[in-house]
Amino acid sequence: MTSPSSPPTTERTPPPTPRRPSTTGLCLILTAVLAASVVCGVALGPVSLPFADVLRFLHAALTGGTIDASEAGPYRIVWDIRLPRVLLAAVVGAGLSVVGVAIQAMVRNALADPYVLGISSGASVGATAVATTGLFASLGIYALSTAAFLAALAAMAVVYLVAGRNLTPLRLVLTGTAMAYGFSAIAMLLVFQSPRGEAARAAMFWLLGSLGGVTWASLPIAAAVVLAGVAYLQSRAKHLNALSMGDETAITLGIDVSRTRKALFLVTAAMTGVLVAVSGAVGFVGLMLPHLVRLTVGADHRKVLAVAPLAGACFLIWVDVAARLLAAPEELPLGVITAALGVPCFILLMRRRGYVFGGR
Amino acid sequence: MDVRLDHVTVDAILHGVDLHAAAGEVHGIVGPNGSGKSTTLRCVYRALEPDGGVVRIGGRDISTTKIRDTAGDLAALTQDSHVEFDFTVAEVVAMGRLPHRSTPRQDEEIVADALSRVDAAHLADRSFLTLSGGERQRVLIARALAQQPKVLVLDEPTNHLDISHQLAVLTLVRGLGVTVLAVLHDLNLAAAYCDRLHVLDHGRVVCSGKPEEVLTPEVLHEVFHVRAHVVRHPTSGVPQLLFEHQEVVR
């Protein structure tokens, strides 16, 4: 039975070999795009600033130059408000996409994302606890991040202990998912029990991801953790290649699978914890960016891990710009934009090439 | 480099497997389904730690050897070859270089050579996931070759291969001059290409020896519950089996 529109099914012609761009060239281009995105990200917002001014202010700030006293207002916006926020968007985007790549290889599952290990749901318990009960009030604006990070660490320990000695992919994913349900239930309970109605909204907004109110203070730790994590994962690129071929094959290629997976779990969980603490749980980036990158450069993790951080950084800067602009002066949650921007982009790319998900 | 298994036990599957493959010899493991063939191999390529007994490769107890060091000497074609991501064939084969330190240029040459030896050079830039079963199998064998092992462990290497590639792959493997331990389902291929065969049944080696010593009507009846005639191959003289159809005797 064939419908008139179906293609002829005589012989399965081998799909054409996708032409893949040189990774070095792509990285150079993406670095340039990233630099341009940072400038645009600083210039664009509810108060738009001329690019020339932005560049001049940045130059002045970096070289210790001077600006006119009358420009103190716009300069504040550029240096104190927009720049740390844009840089943090870059850090979070880079971190999430790299963690997504590593976790998908580590649990050998194309549907995995940084949140599959339950770390972010754990963090949400900490965040909602702060939002609803006023815990850690003495820490001021850092209360939410601190609580989220501590709860993420606790969640990491719980998942690690429950998954047991033998961190097989299925056990990890199942444990992470089951724990995520548990943590979410606790977070929901906290929201519903809370006498403060505003708390529910604050917690929900935080869960969907936001970079509003970011200051320079939250940047150094997040940047250091992401840089170290990216460097570590890049050094393990060949191991990730071997792991994605199956545990038995990885062993015959000389990989101590259980030790490698434990190390990867600790690194990716710590990175996820920090990222969630500074920006909430931004969805989609960690799931789809890895696939977008693989569509472009192939599955070799040496290439994927070189391109993914740059692509993720650019992507999230623009997502954050959209979050600021689309409903100004209100801010949209990042998770809403990542999905709205990412899905069409993804469909477009998927239709263009013969990309095979999950091997079947 | 030789491979020696001394009374290897795996709970409820292997009950003391003894086996010795001398350096450079091709050894076949045959036996009915569930007799412990793959489990035996998994103990050798370290996917499984035996509950008892010792596996030695080149005289060295592998349980006290680093996994990476074992991988420097031993390559394996496993049954677990599910690939999740869209690697090219060349990338898959290049993974065989992981345990070795060589320059990217050397690696490239070794990969290209391995691919051409399994008649798959033309597939180098194809996506592994788009290959047919037989093409995949040849590529995975090429990866094992790229590892330049001294011991090659093969779990059903002729799976999915057409007859011409079955013969070509086994000839290639024999010609490598390395120690080979292979699980083979086709007893006639096992007889034609192995120096020695080990018959496994219920987790024990029930007999070992040259193909003509092992593949007798008595053993085949005892272990596989089939009636067979043993004839000599008209040109090579190796024992070949002709089976009586529909005669399953239990």
Cβ contact, residue pair B85, A299, below 8 Å: yes
Nearest-Cα residue of chain B relative to residue A254: B68
What does the pLDDT read at residue B181?
97
Domain of residue B189: give its range. 3-243
- Which chain B residues have any C-beta within 8 angstroms of a chain A C-beta? 42, 45-47, 66-72, 74-76, 78-88, 91-92, 95-96, 98-99, 125-127, 129-130, 147, 153
Q: DSSP label at B220? A: I
By C-alpha distance, which of B117, B115, B121, B122 is closest to B96?
Answer: B115
Locate B130 and state its tokens. Answer: 């788009």
Q: Which of A252, A113, A292 is nearest to B81 (CA)?
A: A252
Mutation for A interface: B44, B81, B85, most A CBs within 10 A: B85
Closest of A339, A316, A330, A298 to residue A90, by C-alpha: A316
Across the strands, what pairs with B182? B28, B154
Q: What is the pLDDT along chain B (250 residues), one digit of tens a residue?
A: 999 999 999 999 999 999 999 999 999 999 999 999 999 999 999 999 999 999 999 999 999 999 999 999 999 999 876 777 889 999 999 999 999 988 999 999 999 999 999 999 999 999 898 898 889 999 999 999 999 999 999 999 998 899 999 999 999 999 999 999 999 999 999 999 999 999 999 999 999 999 999 999 999 999 999 999 999 999 998 999 999 876 555 5
Residue B195 is assigned to a structural domain of this protein: yes
- Tens-place pLDDT, residues A280-334: 888 889 988 998 899 889 999 999 999 999 999 999 999 999 988 888 778 888 8
A108 touches chain B (CB under 8 A): yes
**Hey, what amino acid is at B234?**
P
**Dihedral sign computed on CA atoms, order A170, A171, A174, A177:** negative
For the packed helices A83-106 and A219-235, what is the interaxial angle rounded to 10 degrees? 30
Contact check, Cβ <8 Å, B84/A256: no
Q: Is A105 on the interface with B (CB under 8 A)?
A: yes
Identify the CATH number of the domain in which residue B22 sits: 3.40.50.300
Q: Residue B189, Cα to own-chain centre: how many angstroms?
A: 12
A chain contacts of residue B47, beta-carbon cutoff 8 Å:
247-248, 251-252
Testing the interface with B: which of A243, A249, A257 to mutate, by most B Cβ within 10 A? A249
Whether A256 has its CB under 8 Å from any CB of chain B: the answer is yes
Q: Is the pLDDT of residue A4 over 60?
A: no
Instruction: Quick: pLDDT tens for A136-186.
Output: 767 766 777 888 889 988 998 898 888 877 788 888 889 999 999 999 899
**Residue of A20, A107, A166, A252 to mutate when probing chain B, most B C-beta within 10 A:** A252
What pLDDT score does A146 carry?
85
Residues in chain B closer than 8 A to A246 (CB atoms): 78, 80-83
Q: Please give the radius of gyration of chain B, using alpha carbons only, rounded to the nearest integer.
A: 18
- B248 assigned to some structural domain: no
What are A223's two structure tokens? 């940047």
In degrees, rounded to 5, the angle at the alpha carbon of residue A215 between the alpha carbons of residues A211 and A216 is 125
A109 touches chain B (CB under 8 A): yes
pLDDT classification of A124: cutoffs 50, 70, 90: confident
Residue B249 lies in a domain: no
Using the beta-carbon criterion (under 8 Å), do A248 and B96 form an inter-chain contact? no
What are the C-alpha distances in Å from B179 to residues A29, A137, B182?
Answer: 49, 69, 10
Considering A221-235, A338-352, B121-135, the range whose residues carry the highest mean pLDDT is: A221-235
Report the C-alpha gap between A194 and A187 in whole angstroms. Answer: 11
Distance (Å, whole) CA A149 – CA A348: 36
Return the half-sphere exposure (C-beta side, CA atoms, 13 A cut-off) of residue A294. Answer: 30
- Give pLDDT, residue A6: 41
Sequence-distant (≥ 6) Cβ neighbours of residue A315 within 8 angstroms: A93, A97, A285, A289, A338, A341, A342
- Is the CB of A251 inside 8 Å of chain B's CB atoms? yes
- Sheet of B3-10: strand order equals B14-21, B3-10, B52-57, B60-61
| Cβ-contact A176, A300 below 8 angstroms | no
Residue A133 CB neighbours (<10 A): 16
pLDDT top residue among A347 and B107: B107
Q: Is residue B212 part of a domain?
A: yes
Lowest-confidence pick of A10-24, A225-239, A242-256, B123-137: A10-24
Q: What does each C-alpha distance from A179 to A18, A115, A116, A152 come to in angstroms?
A: 40, 11, 10, 12
**Chain B residues whose beta carbon lies within 8 Å of the beta carbon of residue A359:** 82-85, 129
Secondary structure (DSSP) of A16-53: PPPP---HHHHHHHHHHHHHHHHHHHHH-SSS---HHH
> Closest to B67 (Cβ–Cβ): which among A245, A256, A298?
A256
Q: Is residue B139 part of a domain?
A: yes
Q: CA of A11, closest CA in chain B: separation in Å?
A: 13
Contacts of A108 in chain B (CB under 8 A): 82, 84
Residue A17 confidence (pLDDT): 54
Residue with tokens 């898959």: B92
Q: Which of B84, B93, B102, B129 to mutate to test the interface with A (most CBs of A within 10 A)?
A: B84
| Å between B120 CA and nearest CA of chain A | 14
Average pLDDT over residues A183-198: 82
As a whole number of angstroms, the distance between CA A87 and CA A108 comes to 31
Distance from CA of B208 to the nearest CA of A (A): 26
Residue B67 belongs to some domain of the structure: yes
- Residue B37 in domain: yes
pLDDT by residue (tens digit) across A94-119?
999 999 999 999 988 888 888 888 88
CA distance A30 to B77: 39
Number of domains in chain B: 1
Nearest to B86 among A245, A247, A355 (CB): A355
- pLDDT tens per residue, range A34-78: 999 999 999 988 888 888 888 888 888 888 878 888 888 888 888
Residue B33 lies in a domain: yes
| Cβ <8 Å between A354 and B68 | no
**Cβ(A30)–Cβ(A90) under 8 Å?**
no
A-B contacts (CB, under 8 Å): 114
Query: Is the CB of A248 less than 8 angstroms away from the CB of B126?
Result: no
For residue A253, how many other CB atoms are within 10 A of its CB? Answer: 26
Quickly list DSSP for B126-156: SBGGGS-HHHHHHHHHHHHHHT--SEEEEES
B126·A256 Cβ contact <8 A: no
Nearest to A248 among B80, B88, B147 (CB): B80
Q: How far apart are CA B75 and CA B149, in angstroms?
A: 6
The ipTM, to two decimals, is 0.91
Alpha carbons B58 and B44: distance in angstroms, whole number: 12
